[in-house]
């Protein structure tokens, strides 16, 4: 979905990593107001943490199943 240019921000940083090789990182940020027309906003019930995270084994099992 296209967003107005003023609602987007792109950050690029490059540097030498701990292994001596060059690394680059890209960050993309979208203004919250640009997401409201899509129904995505901080007032949504799912936008806040409502309980503890699932156990670590749950994530590992989901990853294993994704490769099948």
Q: How many CB atoms lie within 10 A of CB 13?
A: 9
**pTM as predicted:** 0.48
Classified as helix, coil or strand, 44 is coil
Helix or strand (DSSP H, E) at 27: strand 22-30
Domain ranges of the chain: 1-43
9-64 pLDDT tens trace: 999 999 998 899 999 999 999 888 888 888 787 677 766 677 888 888 988 898 88
* Maximum CA extent, the chain: 44
């Amino acid at each position: 979905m296209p967003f107005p240019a003023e609602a987007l921000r792109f950050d690029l940083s490059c540097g030498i990593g701990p292994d001596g090789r060059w690394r680059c990182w890209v960050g993309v940020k979208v203004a919250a107001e640009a997401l409201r027309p899509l129904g995505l906003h901080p007032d949504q019930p799912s936008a806040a943490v409502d309980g503890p995270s699932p156990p670590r084994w749950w994530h590992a099992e989901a990853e294993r199943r994704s490769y099948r």
